[in-house]
Structure 1
Amino acid sequence: MARRWLALSTSGLLLCGLTSAIDTPVAAAAATYANPVTNGVVDTFPDPVTIRGKDGLWYAYGTQNPVFQSKGEDGERMLPILRSADLVTWQYAGQVFTPQTQPAWHNGSRLWAPDIRYVGNRYHLYYSVPGRNTVGLATSPTPAGPWSDAGAVLSTPSGCPTGNIDQALFTDTGGAHYLYWGSYDTVCVARMNASATRIEGPVTQVARGRRMEGAFVVKRDGFYYLFYSDAGCCDGAFSGYQVKAGRATNPLGPFTDDEGVDLMALTSKGGVVAGATGNRWIGPGHNGLQTDLSGQDWLVYHGIPADNPDLAPASGGTLKLTRRPMLIDRLDWINGWPVLRAGAGPSEGAQPAPVTTPVAGSTFNDRSISGMRADGVARTGWSAAQGHLSHEGGGPEPAYLATETKAPADVRAEADLRITAGTGAVGLLVNFVDRRNHVVIWLDRSRNALISRAVVDGRTRSETVTALPAGFRFEDWHNVAAEVRGSRMVVEVSADRLRDSVATQEVELLDTRLGAVGVAARGGQVDADNLSAAPLYQPVTTRLPQPSPGELLPQYTDEFNGTSVPGTEPDSPWRWVRGPATGTTMVDGTLSWPTQNAELHLGSNTASVLLRDAPPGDYTIETRIRFAPESAAQQAGILLYENDDRYFKLVHSVLPLNRGGGALVHVSEFSKEGERPTTTPPTPVANAPMFGGPTATTMWLRLAYHADTAGRQAEVQAFTSRDGTHWVANSVWTLPALGTLKIGLVSMNRAGAEARFDYLRTYRP
C-alpha cells in the first residue's frame, strides 16, 4: 500500500494516514423522478416537510387536507404522513390525529403546516392550530406514531403581532433550540427550553412583509438562512407564492436578502429561491429541506398544477381548497445563496433522483452484519439483532467494524450513533484501512467532545477536538456526517440531518486516500445505525444567466422628450382609456402623472390607462420611474393590457402591513387579472399579486412577454432594479392567450403622489 500524509487545520494539528491502491467504486447510474412525487399517492399534500427516520426511511408530513378525494373520500386527514425508501416513491403511512384522537384543547380546529424534528430520542411534530391561534406539539418514539399530545408551545399571548402559525424549530451549534413562527405579515423567533417543548425568553421580530410566512431555518458556512414564502399560498391559478431567503450571522438576526435589505425593512425583498416559470407549476412555496446520502440538498415544497389547480369542494361542500401536491428539486448554493436548480425553477419531466442508496454501508434492517469486517484487539461483540448495530462494550482498546467495500475519495460518510452505557466513545470510521491505519471521528463521553483522530502505523499522529454542548445526551441518537472533498473534510453532528448541527469541525487534508467506512466502539456499550458512504455530490456553482432585454425597438419606444402629453396629439402612437388623466404633464423630459382616486381592479375599473401597440412576437418593456408614495394604495407602473379584466401589471405600490400598527410597506407588486374558469362555479374575474425585489424612489421596471404558442398562453415575467444594473428576477404569470396585449402605464388608486416616467423602451429578445 502507498503511504500518504494528511493534515487537519482546525486546531493547527497534523492528521496522517494510509491509502490502498484499490480503484474508487463507481456508483450506479442515477435513477430519475418527475414532479409531483406524490402523484398517484395522495391528491394534495400542502406545506410538506421531511425527515429521515432512524429506520433508514424518509417520512413526509403535510397540512390537513382531503388527500383521498379522488378515491371518493369527502373528509380530511389530520396532518397526513407519507413514507419512502428513496424520497421519490411514496406511500401513505397514516395521520397524526384522527377525529377521535384530536386533543380537546384544539376545539376542533383544522391543523396546518407541520414541522418535524428529532429531539431527545423522540420525534417532535410541531403544527399550527389556527382555530386557537397557537402552535401545538405531538411527540412519538417512531416517525409514524403513535403520537402523544404535548400541548401548546407558545405563551398566550405569544408576543408576536401576527398569526401564530407556520412554525419551524432550529437547533443551533451549542444545542440551543429556537422556534420561528408567524404569518400575514411578520416572522418571529424565540428561544425554547432544553426539551424544545415551550418557548422561553423574549420574542424577536426578524422579518416582515406583505403576506410573509412559512419560515424554515438552516445553517451553512457560518450563516443562518431564513427561508420563507410571500404573497398568496393557495388561490388556485392566481397563487403568487414564491420561496425567498435572507441570511444572518445570529439566529436572532438581523437577516438580510441578497440585495443587502433587512428582512424587517418596510419593503418587498429579493433573495428569490424558487418561483413559477411558466411551466405547469404555479405558486411554489412553503418549503422544508432534505439532504440525500451524497450531501446534496433538496428543496421540499408544494406547487399547484396549472392544468388542475382546484380540488372539488370537500367536507360536504364547505371546503374549497387549492390542489398542492409535494414537489422536490435540487437546491443549489451559489455565491452564498440558495437557489432552485441554478435558477431554472420547479421541474417538470424526468430529473436525476436523490442519492438514497450508498455504495457501502447498511441500515441493518435485515439484522445482519454481512458485508462487514471486524478489526481491533477485540473482534467480537458486534450484533445487528435489534435492527441496528450494537457493540456490547469492552476495555480501553477500540473495536472496529468496517465495510468490505471501499468508499470513494470524495465521499459523504455518515451514521447514527449513541452510547447506551458506560463512559466510552462511539465513532464513525472514514478511510479505514485497518486498525493501525484509519481516521475515526469519535463522540467521546469521557471528554464531552467531538474528536477526529488519525492513526498511522498503530500510532495516533494527531487529533482535532471540539467541545460538545454542555448536557449533550450521548444516550440519544445523533447523526455524525463527514464530507471529504479533495483536501477538505467537514464534520457535522446533528439530531436529525436537517442542517442544524450542534457541533462542527472543518478539517484540511494534505492528501486524500481510499478506505472503508465503519463504526468504532471503545469502553462502553454503543449502538450505530444507517451507516453509509456515497460519492460526494458535485455542486452547481453558476446560476443560469438572466435574460437580457435584447435589441431596442425605436418604433415602440418613447423617451418622453416631447412637449405634448402622449395620446393628446392626432399622430401619437399612444391612446387613453378614460383619459387623458387629470394633471398629466411633460416635465424635464419625463411624463409626470399624479396618482388618481381611481381603480383598476375586478369590477372597479375607473382608472385612466395610457396604451400603445406592442410589437409582434416576444418582447420586453422597460421604464424608469421616480415615485415616492406616502399613502396606502398609491401605485404607479407598467402594464401589458388586453382589457380592464385581462392584464399583467408591475407597479411600485404601498400596502398596509397586517397587524402592523398602521405601518405601510412599499412593494414591487406584480399582479395579473383574468377569468378563473376552473372554480365551481366559474369566477368571472380574479386578481392576485406576486412581490418582487426591494423598492426605491427611483426604480427600473421590466415586463418580459413570451408567447407560448404550444400551450396557447401568454407568459410574462417581471424584473425590478434600484440602479438599472442589478436586477431581481420575479416569477412568471400566465393567462390563456385570447386577445392582443398592449403596452400601458398607470398612476392610480389614491391621489396625492406623483409618478414621473423617464421613458418607455421596448426590446426584442
Structure 2
Amino acid sequence: MGQLRRGGALAAVLGLLLAATASAPAVAGTDADYRNPVSAGFADTFADPVVLRGDDGYWYAYGTTDPLREGERQFHRVPTARSADLVDWQYVGDAFGADQRPPYAAPGAGFWAPDVRRIGDRYVMYVTVTDTTVSPEGSDFAIGAATAPTPTGPWTFVDEPVVAPRPGGGGGWLWTIDPSQFTDVDGTSYLYYGSYYGGISVTELSPDGLRAVGQPTLVAIDNKFEGGYVLRHDGWYYLFASTANCCAGPATGYSVHVGRSRSPRGPFVDRDGIPLTASRAGGTPVLTQNGNRWIGTGHNGFLTDLSGQDWIVYHALDRADPYLDEPFGINERPMLLDRLDWIGGWPTVNAGAGPSDGERPAPVTTGRVDERFDAGLAGWRGTGDWRVADGRLTGSGALTSRTTVGGDVRAETDLRLTGAEAAGLTLGGRVEVRVDAAAGRLVARDGGRTASAALPPGHRLTDRHNLAVEVRGRQLVAELSPARLGDQLATVALRLDRPVPGRLGLTATGGAAEFDNVSLARLHRPARHAVPEPRAGALLTGWSDEFTDGLDPAWSWVRPDPSATVSGGALRWPTQAADLVGTGNTASVLLRDAPAGDYLVETKVTLDLGEETVRNYQQAGLVAYVDDDRFARLAQVAIWNTRQVEYGYELPFAGQPVYGGNIVGTPATTTWLRLAHRVDPVTGEHEFRAGSSRDGEHWTWGGVWTFPADTTPRIGLVAHGGAQPPVTAAFDYLRFHR
C-alpha cells in the first residue's frame, strides 16, 4: 500500500534470530549468491513489489508510486525494472506518463501497489488509483486496470474502474486498495482488494479480467489486514496478508501472515483453525523482522524459479535509514527477495528464520537446458516439421535435447497450441506430459500409467501458458498455469514405474504448437524442518513472582497505581485511562530487574475485552522498558472491532518519540505472553522476540524489537487504554526462565 497513517537454555532463540546464517538447503543448480536489498542497483525505495516472468524470459518487477532515489523527489508512476537473474535489476521506465491517467482519476492521483498478470493474450495491470472524481474530499480510492502487449507496455488504462470507490458505513470511503488477481482451476478470475478500513474482499471478474461481477466476499477482517495475495499450493488456497503499520519509520512492524482455505472465497483459517474474519482474527506468521537490519517486512508478491523453489518478494525498511529524505517523510522501503519454504503445509520464509541480511544462495534462473531459440535448433534432434522465428519454436513432431540432467529435475516451457491437438514435454523418451486440446485435459503418461485433470471448459489454448513438470524420485507432478504465479489451471500427479532419465523432449501432434523459454534444471531440495523456536528452560525462581503473598519487594513503580492489588494468587489491575505512547506518558508501569544474559520471561493474563465492539485501546501485558520513550509492549488489545496481540515499540528519533507495532498471534480471554531476550554477541544489542499462546502450550512467535547495547531494559507489566467499560486484568504470575 502507499503511506497511509492511522491514528532448555535459549540456544533455540539464537538459532532463530541469526537469520543470515540460518540452516537451510542450498538452492539446487546455482553457485551464485545475492544479498538484500535486490533493488539497490536502481532504487533506494521500491515499495509494494510484484514480479512476473515475461515472454522474453526476463523477470519484471513493478513498484508503487514514489521517488526511486534519495534526493530525487520525482514520483514515478509505477516504476518498472527488469532482470535476467532476479538479483541484478535495471530500471526500464515508468508504466505511465506524467499526464496519463484513466478518465475517472483526479489530477495528481498516484498509483499504488500494482499487480501484473497475463490474462489471455495480453498483460493486465491492476493498480490502486489514489484519488478519483467521485468525491472532492479525496481518499476515494478505486482499483483500476491497464492492458499492454508486453511487460513494459505501452499501457492503456481501461476507462472504468474495476472496483469503484465504496462509501464507508462510518463515513468517508473504504480503503479500496492493494489489488491482486487470481485465476482458479475452473478458469474463473478473481480480484482481492482492500485494507484496514473495510477489510480484504474478493470479487469475481469478467473473463477479460477488466470488470468486477457478482457480489464480493469478505475474506479478512478490517482493522487488521491489507495487501492480500492468493496462491494455490497442494490443493489449498493461501491468502497472504500484511498487518500493522506499513510506514512508521524506525518503529515499523509490518509483517506477513497467512490463512488457507479449500475455496478462493474462503473462509481462510490459520494453523490454529482461527478464521481471518473473526473479531479475534487469526493469521499464521510467514515473514516478520528478526533483529537484523530489516524491519517492516511486508506487502509481498510471489514467484517460482526454474528449480521449482518458491520465493517471496516484499519491501522492508533499514532501521538505521528508515526515511527516503527528511525524517517523517516518505518511508524508504527497498525490494527484498527471500526463499519461501513449505513446512507442514504452511509457508514460512527461510525455514522460519525471516528476512536475510548477508550472502544467500541465489534463485535458479538458468537451467542446464535453457532454450530461448535464439540460435536455431542447435542442441536438439528429432523428427517433424519445425521452424524457429523471433526466438520461438513452432511446429509438430518430436524433438529431444542432447543435454542430460541426472537426478530429480524440473522442466518447463511456455506453450501455445496454435493448431495441435496435443502438445507438451517428454522426459527420458518415456514419460510424457501433454496438454490435450481434443480431450480438454492435462495428461501425464508413463507406459500404461496415466493421470489427468480437466482444463477449464472452453479455455483458449491458443493463448500462451506455462507447463511445468517436476520429478522427485518416482513422483511426478505437472501443472499448467497462465504465468507461473501459483494460479494453476490444472495439476496432475503420477507415480512413475521407475526413475526417469533427465533428457528433455518436446512433442506436438495433430498440428502445430509454439514453444518458448524451455528449461530443464535440477529440482530444488525443500527445507523439511523449521529453525527452532524459543523454549522455556529452567525456572529462575529468585527472579519470578507467583503473586501468592502480596507484591514481591523486587517490584518498583513508574507512577504508582493504588488500584493494582494482589489477591487470590493474582495481580489484579484495572486498565487505566492512560498510555505510554507519545509525549503524554501518564500510564503506570510495574517493573523489576531482569537477569543478565539470555532469558525468557512469561506471564499469563486474563482480560475480558469481549468481541466486535469498539473498546479502544484497552490492553494488558508485558513490557521491556528503558524509559517512557523507549519500550516494547506485548499486550492483548482491543483495536476497534478486533482483538489482537500487539507488540508495540516506541523509541526516540529525530527529536520525538515514534511508535509502531508488530502483530503476534491471536488472543483469548486468557492469553499467555512471552518475551525471549538475547544479547547480540557482535553488537551487544538487546533483542526481544515476542510470542503468544491461547493455551500455554502452543505458541505463535512474531517479530523482534531491539534496544541499544548501552541500555539496561527492565521487565514489567502494564494495564492501559481506558476505563470504559471497566475491565480488570488478572496476571497469574511473572516467570523468568534461563
2:178 to 149, 166, 179: 166
Range that drifts further, 204-213 or 221-230: 204-213
1:320 to 329, 350, 363: 329
Give CA-to-partner distance per residue, 1:48-72, whole Å, 9 cap, x none. Answer: 1100111111111111110033xx5
2:627 to 629, 643, 646: 643
SS at match of 2:542: helix
Map 1:218-297 → 2, pairs under 5 A? 218-297=231-310
Map 1:711-722 → 2, pairs under 5 A? 711-722=683-694
**Per the alignment, do residues 640 and 145 of structure 1 end up closer, same or farther by CA in structure 2, a change over 3 Å counting?**
same
**1:305 maps to what in 2?**
318
Q: Aligned partner of 1:145: which letter?
A: G
Contact 2:79-2:94 within 8 A present in 1 as well? yes
Map 1:486-501 → 2, pairs under 5 A? 486-501=473-488
Q: Tell me how far 1:519 sits from its aligned partner.
A: 1.5
Q: Is the aligned partner of 1:135 residue 2:143? A: yes
Range that drifts further, 706-715 or 256-265: 706-715
Map 1:332-371 → 2, pairs under 5 A? 332-364=341-373, 366-371=374-379
2:435 to 404, 418, 443: 443
Q: Aligned partner of 2:494: which letter?
A: V
Map 1:378-393 → 2, pairs under 5 A? 379=384, 381-391=385-395
**1:660 maps to what in 2?**
none
Contact 1:565-1:584 within 8 A present in 2 as well? no
**Per the alignment, do residues 615 and 465 of structure 1 end up closer, same or farther by CA in structure 2, a change over 3 Å counting?**
closer
Q: Tell me how far 1:463 sits from its aligned partner.
A: 4.1
Q: Tell me how far 1:82 sits from its aligned partner.
A: 0.8
Using the alignment, how far apart are the partners of 1:585 and 1:29 within structure 2?
62
Q: Tell me how far 1:282 sits from its aligned partner.
A: 0.7
SS at match of 1:453: strand
Q: Is the aligned partner of 1:429 residue 2:426? A: yes
**Per the alignment, do residues 74 and 515 of structure 1 end up closer, same or farther by CA in structure 2, a change over 3 Å counting?**
closer
**Per the alignment, do residues 481 and 709 of structure 1 end up closer, same or farther by CA in structure 2, a change over 3 Å counting?**
closer
**Per the alignment, do residues 747 and 215 of structure 1 end up closer, same or farther by CA in structure 2, a change over 3 Å counting?**
same
**Per the alignment, do residues 152 and 412 of structure 1 end up closer, same or farther by CA in structure 2, a change over 3 Å counting?**
farther
Using the alignment, how far apart are the partners of 1:179 and 1:268 within structure 2?
22
Contact 1:61-1:114 within 8 A present in 2 as well? yes
**Per the alignment, do residues 723 and 371 of structure 1 end up closer, same or farther by CA in structure 2, a change over 3 Å counting?**
same
Q: Aligned partner of 2:586: which letter?
A: T
Q: Tell me how far 1:627 sits from its aligned partner.
A: 1.2
Contact 2:127-2:143 within 8 A present in 1 as well? yes
**Per the alignment, do residues 155 and 332 of structure 1 end up closer, same or farther by CA in structure 2, a change over 3 Å counting?**
closer
**2:16 maps to what in 1?**
none
Give CA-to-partner distance per residue, 1:479-536, whole Å, 9 cap, x none. Answer: 1111111121111001100110111111111311214212212222221101111111
Using the alignment, how far apart are the partners of 1:617 and 1:151 within structure 2?
62
Contact 2:119-2:482 within 8 A present in 1 as well? yes
1:582 to 562, 569, 585: 562
Contact 1:78-1:110 within 8 A present in 2 as well? yes
Give CA-to-partner distance per residue, 1:112-171, whole Å, 9 cap, x none. Answer: 101111011111111111223111111111111111112444344559973100110010
1:187 to 197, 200, 205: 200
**1:762 maps to what in 2?**
736
SS at match of 2:320: coil
Q: Is the aligned partner of 1:35 residue 2:16? A: no
Using the alignment, how far apart are the partners of 2:506 and 2:234 within structure 1?
27
Contact 1:209-1:267 within 8 A present in 2 as well? no
**1:707 maps to what in 2?**
679
Range that drifts further, 90-99 or 607-616: 607-616
SS at match of 1:404: strand
**1:7 maps to what in 2?**
none
Range that drifts further, 96-105 or 190-199: 96-105
Q: Is the aligned partner of 1:507 residue 2:494? A: yes
**1:178 maps to what in 2?**
190
**1:408 maps to what in 2?**
406
Contact 1:80-1:94 within 8 A present in 2 as well? yes
Q: Tell me how far 1:342 sits from its aligned partner.
A: 0.7
Q: Aligned partner of 1:43: which letter?
A: D
Using the alignment, how far apart are the partners of 2:306 and 2:321 within structure 1?
34
SS at match of 1:342: helix
**1:534 maps to what in 2?**
521
Q: Tell me how far 1:645 sits from its aligned partner.
A: 1.4
Contact 1:639-1:648 within 8 A present in 2 as well? yes
SS at match of 2:158: strand
**Per the alignment, do residues 258 and 408 of structure 1 end up closer, same or farther by CA in structure 2, a change over 3 Å counting?**
same
Contact 1:274-1:345 within 8 A present in 2 as well? yes
Contact 2:29-2:367 within 8 A present in 1 as well? no
**2:52 maps to what in 1?**
51
Q: Tell me how far 1:612 sits from its aligned partner.
A: 1.4
Contact 2:426-2:433 within 8 A present in 1 as well? yes
**Per the alignment, do residues 43 and 157 of structure 1 end up closer, same or farther by CA in structure 2, a change over 3 Å counting?**
closer
**1:65 maps to what in 2?**
66
Using the alignment, how far apart are the partners of 1:203 and 1:403 within structure 2?
48
**1:748 maps to what in 2?**
720
Give CA-to-partner distance per residue, 1:705-748, whole Å, 9 cap, x none. Answer: 22336335332111111111111101001233443221211112
**Per the alignment, do residues 191 and 747 of structure 1 end up closer, same or farther by CA in structure 2, a change over 3 Å counting?**
same
Using the alignment, how far apart are the partners of 2:57 and 2:40 within structure 1?
23
Q: Aligned partner of 1:749: which letter?
A: G
Seq. identity, %? 43
**Per the alignment, do residues 372 and 423 of structure 1 end up closer, same or farther by CA in structure 2, a change over 3 Å counting?**
closer
**1:101 maps to what in 2?**
100
1:573 to 554, 575, 584: 554
Q: Aligned partner of 1:81: which letter?
A: T
Using the alignment, how far apart are the partners of 1:666 and 1:725 within structure 2?
20
Q: Is the aligned partner of 1:485 residue 2:464? A: no
Range that drifts further, 489-498 or 157-166: 157-166
Q: Aligned partner of 1:166: which letter?
A: D
Using the alignment, how far apart are the partners of 2:420 and 2:247 within structure 1?
53
Contact 1:160-1:182 within 8 A present in 2 as well? no
Contact 2:193-2:227 within 8 A present in 1 as well? yes
**Per the alignment, do residues 158 and 197 of structure 1 end up closer, same or farther by CA in structure 2, a change over 3 Å counting?**
farther
Q: Is the aligned partner of 1:205 residue 2:218? A: yes
Using the alignment, how far apart are the partners of 1:114 and 1:683 within structure 2?
35
State the superposition RMSD in angstroms. 1.9
Q: Aligned partner of 2:348: which letter?
A: V
Contact 1:716-1:734 within 8 A present in 2 as well? yes
Q: Which has the larger radius of gyration?
A: 1
Contact 2:558-2:590 within 8 A present in 1 as well? yes
Give CA-to-partner distance per residue, 1:69-99, whole Å, 9 cap, x none. Answer: 3xx5321111111111111111111111021
Using the alignment, how far apart are the partners of 1:431 and 1:159 within structure 2?
59
SS at match of 1:237: helix
Using the alignment, how far apart are the partners of 2:452 and 2:624 within structure 1?
61
SS at match of 1:695: coil
Contact 1:382-1:389 within 8 A present in 2 as well? yes
Map 1:616-631 → 2, pairs under 5 A? 616-630=596-610, 631=615
Using structure 1 for the length normalisation, give the TM-score. Answer: 0.88
Q: Which runs of 5+ in 2 are unaligned?
A: 1-26, 133-140
Q: Which runs of 5+ in 1 are unaligned?
A: 1-25, 394-398, 433-437, 456-460, 567-571, 657-663, 677-681
User: Matched residue pairs, number?
Assistant: 692
Map 1:467-482 → 2, pairs under 5 A? 467-482=454-469
Using the alignment, how far apart are the partners of 2:218 and 2:168 within structure 1?
7
Q: Tell me how far 1:462 sits from its aligned partner.
A: 5.1
Using the alignment, how far apart are the partners of 2:423 and 2:314 within structure 1?
36
Q: Aligned partner of 1:192: which letter?
A: L
Q: Tell me how far 1:35 sits from its aligned partner.
A: 0.6
